[in-house]
Structures are given as structure tokens and as C-alpha cells.
DNA sequence: GATGAATGAGAATTCATTCAT
DNA sequence: GATGAATGAATTCTCATTCAT
């Protein structure tokens, strides 16, 4: 049987207040240490509770982490919707999405990094909760591209998923150095670059490869076909 | 009770052989379990050595992991250079790089996944070693883009780094589901899509659709011929 | 996250009602989980009170458990006395005791099992309270055997305690499989077997009950059959 | 990465020696404290190893416990077979079995007690290992009874299982007080009593077998009538 | 009288790394 | 050079009980 012990001064707070205190402390610690190196004891101390109290409100460390991430997502998502309504034009709207994502990374790189790691790790638990939020998060981008195609501003025949992967993948890779704590970047500038690249593509604009290039290509094709014919049975 | 490890017959193998046995075992275990869950004891058992022996050849677990990754990269890099020499044309060469990357992911998703996680995690030690290899790995892509710009096939004023980030980021995102063990993808098909998107961009092409369409057709033809040649006996 | 317990409507119930609610909830939980795995919070929830309230009525978890067991015993004991008065003859009375015990086990194996464990564990506190009840519970059996010896139906020179231990020990062992949730048994059949064995012993019968006893038995049978005939439709 | 720390003096022993040291220490601690209150740290200290070393040889606390019990059983079983060969006659052999069991309890009551608790608790793990040993342990008794029936010394028509349950149940109940640390008992005396009771039964021995059969019939009749009366409306 | 937030000591388990043999 | 026994620090999670509100 557990013996009663002298206790430290007990401060009673409302459930809501305690939960938010713990979440805030946890956010900090996870941000600074990452999931594995974050200690419950550390979080407890910052939240001014004993470790056991955390378990009154959260099932376990993982649960707490997921809640922190969810909370963070919710903040972002509401922000998106609010701001997006004031922007029109496919290019503008797309740029906003990219810029917002870049700005988020810029504002809280440490937490973003943890998030990318976790969402990628894909443990079953994550799938359900955070995954769905991530889907919601990127859905807006898909919608904008879709509308762009409908209005004729964007060309048809594109895989929407691929466009999304390209945009978010590009942002993620472009910001890895910063996420790792090296260097800096300017969300505005990078957003412009990405929009330009993703809309315009790599190829020399106008119409087509230069006519000269086309001719060279034709010649190559001709000789290749010859080679193939010789090889064919 | 934990089984006593039957005292092995002591084989004296050459240092090279021992190292490669351990590396092979380690590759398997890291692939299956990931870095954290991989046990030195497990690796030792599969390599038919005792734990202590591993420390004769490798400084520590991390060092062993780095070596494994390096080894894997070297295999890929040499493959690249060998094959790339036989391919001409910016589009073709770019497509090959993308296709090769996709194919690598397709062939060994588990190891790729560990790799992405680690490269992202960015502990300083890892950074230096694996990072440099990664740089080499992607350098070829940068070179191709650069040449394309020089020949005028690709438009100038692009950030080469950003192009690279877009390509690799896109591949990585596009294949996450597969890396997580869900679904499948066709490297050939996805490579076509990515090349198309990254070269052509999202926007509806500028002026003459007809010429653009012709050019696109030519490019597709060229790619097809290239593939035929590679597959031909 | 752990669900916040919705603030209950505060009902003011009589002390008796509260206590019996808690006892009932506790009985269920102890039955299902066993002492150690039973949670005060679980009991509180089922009783629709908060944990603290339980401590207003019970000193601690152990005390609550003891009360539950006592309560259960009391129910059984009163039942015994009521029914035993209608039964005459050493064999019949003995058989009833055994049958009743078997039937109790059959009816509520889970609680019986906890009980056996606890009575056996013998922490001092438990000893006093539950032990005394157990003594009362088995005393009736001792009395019957004693009477049997007095009337000459049972042979003298027996250790009454040993007879009791044999009967209850036999029942307990015979029913362990069932208590563990494996298989089933028929109280009627097993009671017959046990009575037969404990009365007749293992040895090939030299002889038989005294003739006087047989005569008495015949008389009882005759009157019983008369009674039955009167009751028959 | 784990930092190397100054170590205490390391004594290297053979696997066998270490295992037996740990087992011995564990046996003591489990005996004194019982399973739950036994601490791994305590066992480690007595075995002069650090806690971690125990986990090199045993999967977990439960595994260690099971091994301790198994080891103990093995000692008893070999003893049985050795001694039983020198004893003839059903009564003598049966008495030996009972006496041996009583003596075992008498010699190491604390460990016996833990054992009874565990075998009764019937967690799946236990079932397989300890259960089988228990079966072997009691099998000898069943065999003796069976032989007695074959030779005509014991009456037929008995449930062997029930006989076994009666014997072991009786011993267990008879010795509970001692197991709990209260009082004492004399294995010789109690063995005599139990053999007498279980062989001779409670009933006063009669004379003529024919009459005995009649009496048994009468008793069964009486029981049947009793039941009818209870069930009658 | 009821509530339920807060307590806090504890204990099992893991495994990379070392180094006596 | 190989072996594998031994190390030991570090961390999560539990839950009966208390007591401020």
C-alpha cells in the first residue's frame, strides 16, 4: 500500500488550464529536443507539475506529442482559410500557399522538422490523426490547381497529386538546410522562384524547343531508328 | 531464458572478408529495423561474429551505419556514370536521372527510407559523410540542367539548386506511400510525368499550341526510342 | 487524451445507498479484474461517484475489498442456514454442504477465485475479517460431521479439521480448471462423487453401515415418499 | 550515444556459474518476498551482479521466476522416483506420496506458497511450463491409485482425478496455516491421518458386503428423494 | 458532503560498449 | 585476433491516496 508522503504546495488549476500549460511546455521541449530526446520529466518541470500529472491528461508520451502536432496544425489551417479568401487568381493563390508554407517553416523550423520526421515515419498511430490533418493541409493546393485547369489557366492532363508532391517536395528540400539550422532563406523570394518554376517549367518558353534543336533531335531519331532496325530480329 | 550462444568455431578470415560480412549483415538489419531498432547483437549474429568483433572494425554503431550507407551510395554512383555516358539530349539525360532515382527507391524502399530519415535527421557526424555523397549523387542532375541552359534547351535565370530540390523533392514525396509499404508505382510512368511537368511547367504553353504539341511529340518519340535501345539485345 | 469526466449532476443519496452503490460496483470490478488490477477510478466511475467519495466510506482499497467479500459471505451464510434446516440425515446434509459449495463456485467462479487467492495470501488484515467468515462458513460442515459421529453414522476418532480440509480442498482442486475458465462441471454429479468418496473411502468396502442406521434411513425414505406423493399433481 | 563510465571490478564467471548464482539469489528473494514484492535489484545485489546482467540470462522477471520454480520441481521429481522404487503395497506407496508432499511443504513453506499462488493464477505463460511439471508431479499418485484398483485393493468405479484432487486438496488446506507461518504440523502424523481417512472413508465400517451394497443403494435413494423434494412445487 | 486535480515514489527493462580471458 | 560476460545509466508509466475548492 502506498504511504502518504508530505507534498509540495498544491496549486489547483482547471483542467483546461493545466492541459494547455502542459501542451505549451511539451511543444517547447519537443521543439528543442525532438521526440526521442524529450523527457517527460523535463516537460513536467516546465509545466510546473509532477510527471504523474501529465498522465492524467495524456495517455502516454506519444499521445502528448501527437496532440502537440495536431494543435499546431489546427492553428495553421484556420489561418489558411482566413487569408486565402482574400486572394484571387490562380497564380496568386498558388503563390500564397507556397509562401505560407515557407513562412511556416521559417517561423518554427524546429517543430516543422519534428513533424516531417513523424509524418514520414508513418507509424500506424500517426496515420489516423496527423495524416488526415496533413491531407487537409495540402488539399487546398490541389483545389487551386484544379480550378486553374478548369479556368484554362493551367494545362490539362496533369496529375494533381504529382503537382502537389512537386510543390511540397520542393519546399521541403529547399528548406532542409534551414531546418537543420544552417543558413537562412527568404520566403518571399523562394516563393517567387518556386511559382515561376512550377508554372513555367524548365523549358525555354515561347512555344517549343528552338527549331534548330528540333532538327538535331530529328537527326538523332533517324539514326537511332536505323540502329534499332539493325538489331531487330 | 535467453539462449546461450553456442560457442562458434573460430574462423580466421581476412580483414576484408570480415568487414564485408559485417557490412552485409548490418545492411540487412538496418534495412529491416531502422537505425534505432537495429541491435548490434543482431548484426553480430547474422555476420557470425560476436559483438566485440564489430568494434574491432567499426568505431561504433553510428560509424557502421555510415559505412553501410556510403557503400550503398558508391554502388549507385558508379552505376550512374556508367549508364549516363550512353545517353544524349537534355531531356533524355534528365529523364534517366529521375528514372534511376525512382528505380532505386522501387528496388530497395526500406533502405531508402532509412536513408532519407537519417539524412534529414542531420546529426553533425552523419552530415559530413553522407551529405557529401548525397551532393555527389545529385550533382549530376545539376550538371545536366546547367548544360541544358548552355545549349539553350533550358531557359536561363533558373536557380539550379531549386531545380534539383524540385526534382528530388518531387520524387521523394511521390514515393512516400510506397516507402511506407502502401501501394506501388511504375518508375517509367512516373519518370515521364515528372519530366513532363518539370520541363513544361503547369502553365498553358505560350502561343502556338500546334508547334508546342509537335515538339512534345518529338520529345516523347525520342524518349521511346531511347528506351527501346536500352531494352534491345 | 484521457477523456475529461463530465461533471456529474450531484445527487445526494443516503449514506446507505451510496455505500451499496459503491459495494456493488466494487464487486463487479474485483470480480472482473482481481484485486491488484482493479482500479479505484474504475470502481468510482461505475458507482457514479468520484474517487474521493469512496474514501469517505471506506478506509482504503483493501478495506473496500474486505467489505465486498464479507457482504458476499453473509449472503451465502444466511442461505445455508435457511436451506439446511429442511434437510435431515448426515449424508444428505453433508451432500448439501458440498453441493452448495460447488454450486457457489459454479455460479460465480470469478469472484470465488479472487476470494481463494486472497484468503490464501493471508495479509494480516484480511486474515482477521475474512478468515472468521470462512470459519463460520465451514463450521456447519464440521457440525454435521460431529453429529454424524455422535449418532454413530460416522466413525469416531477422526480429526474433524482434517475432514473439513479434505472436503473443501477436494472441491477447490476439482474446480480449479473451471475457475480458470476452462471446461465445466456438474455440481450435482461432482457432489455425489465427493460424498461417495469421502464417506466410503478408497478401500474395498469390508462391510457397510450398521443395520440400525439402515433402518433409520428406511423410515426417513418412507415418510419422504409420502410427502412427495402428496405434493405431486 | 552511451558514454563509457568507470566500472566496478569485473569478475568474469562462466555462464553456468552466473546463471546458478542468479537462480539461487532469486530463489531466496522470491521465497522471502513473493513474486510481486521481489525486486530485480535485490536479486541482482545478492547475486553480486548488476541488474542488467540478469537480463542477459533471463527474458524478464516472470521468466526468472518460472525458471526458479521449474528448477525446484525438477529436484523434487527426481527424488520421488528414486525413493518410490523401494516401497511396495498400495497403502505404503500412497502414504509415501502424501508424506513426501507434506514434507516438502514442511521444508520450504514459503516457496511452496508462492508456487500454489502461481499455479492457481493460471496466466498463460505459467500454464505451459509449470503446469506440465505439476501434472508430472501428481501423475505418480494417479498411477498408484490405478494399480490399487487393478490389484483389487481399492474399489473400482472411482474417478482417479477426484481422488488426486482430494489428496492434494486435503494436504493444501491442512497446511495453509503453516504456509502462512502459523503453527506447525507433523508430516508423519498428518500423513497417517490422511491415508486413513482417504482409504477408509468417514463411514462406520459395517460387516457384510452384501448389506453394504444395500446400504449404498439406500443412501443414493435418499439423496434422490431429497432432490425431488427440493425441486417439487 | 462531494469533487477531482495533484501527488510522487518506484521498478522493470534496454543495449551500446568495454575488456578480462 | 576473437570472445562474450558484464556493465550501468537512463526513462517511462502507474495509481492509491490526499486535500484544496
With pLDDT > 90 as the criterion, what percentage of chain C qualifies? 42
**B62 CB contact with strand E at below 7 Å:** yes
Is residue C220 included in any domain, yes or no?
no
Between A30 and C114, residue with greater pLDDT: A30
Residues of C in contact with D212 (CB under 8 A): 205-209
SS3 letters across C39-94: CHHHHHHHCCCCHHHHHHHCCCHHHHHHHHHHHHHHHHHHHHHHHHCCCCCHHHHH
pLDDT digits (tens, 9 = 90+) for A7-48: 566 777 888 889 999 999 999 999 988 888 899 999 999 999
**A199 CB contact with strand F at below 7 Å:** no
Q: Quickly give D119 CA vs F20 C1' distance in Å.
A: 46
CATH of the domain at C53: 1.10.10.60
Q: Is the pLDDT reported for residue B51 higher than 60?
A: yes
Tell me: do B54 and B70 sit in the same domain: no
Residues of D in contact with B4 (CB under 8 A): 15
Nearest CA in chain C to A19: C1
For residue B47, what is the DSSP state?
T
How high is the pLDDT of residue A2?
Answer: 41
Is residue B211 included in any domain, yes or no?
no
Tell me: do B28 and B111 sit in the same domain: no
Tell me: do C94 and C22 sit in the same domain: no
Domain count, chain D: 3
**B33 CB contact with strand E at below 7 Å:** no
Tell me: do C47 and C126 sit in the same domain: no
**Bridge partner residues of C154 (DSSP):** D203
pLDDT digits (tens, 9 = 90+) for C128-158: 778 888 888 899 999 999 999 898 888 888 8
Tell me: do B118 and B23 sit in the same domain: no
Tell me: do A17 and A109 sit in the same domain: no
For helices A109-121 and A90-107, give the axis angle rounded to 10 degrees. 100
C154 — phi, psi (to 5°)? -110, 150
Is residue C29 included in any domain, yes or no?
yes
Mean per-residue pLDDT of chain A: 84
Is residue C69 included in any domain, yes or no?
yes
In sequence order, the 6+-apart residues with CB closer than 8 A to the CB of C220 are C88, C89, D222
Backbone torsion region of residue A201, taken as left when φ is above 0, otherwise alpha when ψ lies between -120 and 50, otherwise beta: left
Tell me: do C47 and C67 sit in the same domain: no
Owning domain of residue A31? 9-58
End-to-end CA distance of chain B: 58
Mean pLDDT lowest for which of A90-94, B39-43, B51-55, D203-207? D203-207
Give the mean pLDDT per block of 10 residues along chain D (233 residues): 51 85 93 88 92 92 90 84 85 92 93 82 71 87 92 87 95 92 93 91 57 56 64 59
C-alpha cell belonging to residue B71: 557503400
- Contact D211/C211, CB-based, under 8 Å? yes
Complete DSSP assignment for B153-171: SB-SS--HHHHHHHHHHHH
Domain-ending residue, one of D58, D73, D88 = D58
User: For chains C and D, what is the number of CB pairs under 8 angstroms?
Assistant: 215
- Contact D59/B2, CB-based, under 8 Å? yes
Nearest CA in chain A to C1: A58
State the pLDDT confidence band at B233, using cuts at 50, 70 and 90: low
SS3 letters across D172-195: HHHHHHHHCCCCCCCHHHHHHHHH
Tell me: do D190 and D83 sit in the same domain: yes
Q: Could you say which residues 46-65 of protein chain C have a Cβ atom less than 7 A away from any atom in strand E?
A: 49-53, 55-56
Is residue A207 included in any domain, yes or no?
no
Residues of C in contact with A56 (CB under 8 A): 2
pLDDT digits (tens, 9 = 90+) for B121-154: 766 666 677 788 888 889 999 999 999 989 888 8
Tell me: do A41 and A94 sit in the same domain: no
Tell me: do C157 and C93 sit in the same domain: yes
Helix then strand then coil, in percent of chain D rounded to 5, is 75, 0, 25
How high is the pLDDT of residue C45?
Answer: 92
Tell me: do C46 and C107 sit in the same domain: no
Is residue B156 included in any domain, yes or no?
yes
**Bridge partner residues of D154 (DSSP):** C203
CA–CA gap between residue A48 and residue A53 (Å, rounded): 10
Tell me: do D40 and D131 sit in the same domain: no
CA–CA gap between residue C203 and residue D11 (Å, rounded): 61
- Contact B165/A158, CB-based, under 8 Å? no
**Residue of D80, D76, D70, D138 lying closest to D107 (CA atoms):** D76
- Best mutation target among B101, B114, B169, B213 (most A Cβ atoms within 10 Å) is B169
Chains that touch A (3 or more CB pairs under 8 A): B, C
Over its C-alpha atoms, chain C yields an Rg (Å, rounded) of 22
- Contact C200/D155, CB-based, under 8 Å? yes
pLDDT digits (tens, 9 = 90+) for C150-170: 988 888 888 999 999 999 999
Q: Is the pLDDT reported for residue C27 higher than 60?
A: yes
CA–CA gap between residue A77 and residue A83 (Å, rounded): 10
Nearest CA in chain B to A90: B203
Is residue A144 included in any domain, yes or no?
yes
- Contact B1/D56, CB-based, under 8 Å? no
How high is the pLDDT of residue A155?
Answer: 85
Residue B69, helix vs strand vs coil: helix
State the alpha helices, DSSP H only, in chain A: 15-37, 40-46, 51-57, 61-84, 90-107, 109-121, 124-126, 132-151, 160-179, 187-200, 211-231
Flag whether A touches C (3+ CB pairs, 8 A cutoff). Answer: yes
Residue B72 in contact with residue B111, Cβ under 8 Å? yes
Is residue B2 included in any domain, yes or no?
no
Amino acid at each position: 500500500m502506498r504511504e502518504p508522503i508530505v507534498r509540495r504546495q498544491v496549486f489547483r488549476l482547471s483542467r483546461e488550464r493545466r492541459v494547455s500549460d502542459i501542451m505549451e511546455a511539451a511543444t517547447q521541449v519537443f521543439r528543442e529536443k525532438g521526440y526521442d530526446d524529450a523527457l517527460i520529466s523535463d516537460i513536467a518541470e516546465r509545466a510546473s507539475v509532477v510527471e504523474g500529472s501529465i498522465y492524467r491528461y495524456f495517455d502516454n508520451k506519444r499521445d502528448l506529442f501527437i496532440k502537440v502536432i495536431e494543435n499546431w496544425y489546427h492553428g495553421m489551417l484556420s489561418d489558411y482559410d482566413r487569408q486565402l479568401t482574400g486572394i484571387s487568381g490562380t497564380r496568386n493563390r498558388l503563390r500564397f500557399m507556397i509562401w505560407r508554407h515557407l513562412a511556416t517553416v521559417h517561423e518554427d523550423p524546429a517543430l516543422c522538422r519534428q513533424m516531417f520526421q513523424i509524418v514520414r515515419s508513418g507509424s500506424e498511430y500517426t496515420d489516423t490523426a496527423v495524416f488526415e490533418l496533413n491531407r487537409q493541409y495540402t488539399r487546398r493546393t490541389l483545389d487551386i490547381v484544379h480550378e486553374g485547369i478548369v479556368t484554362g489557366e493551367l494545362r490539362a492532363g496533369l496529375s494533381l497529386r504529382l503537382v502537389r508532391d512537386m510543390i511540397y517536395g520542393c519546399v521541403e528540400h529547399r528548406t532542409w538546410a534551414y531546418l537543420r539550422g544552417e543558413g537562412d532563406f527568404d520566403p518571399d523570394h523562394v516563393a517567387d522562384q518556386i511559382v515561376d518554376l512550377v508554372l513555367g517549367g524548365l523549358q525555354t518558353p515561347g512555344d517549343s524547343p528552338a527549331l534548330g534543336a528540333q532538327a538535331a533531335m530529328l537527326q538523332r531519331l533517324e539514326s537511332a531508328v536505323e540502329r534499332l532496325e539493325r538489331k531487330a530480329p
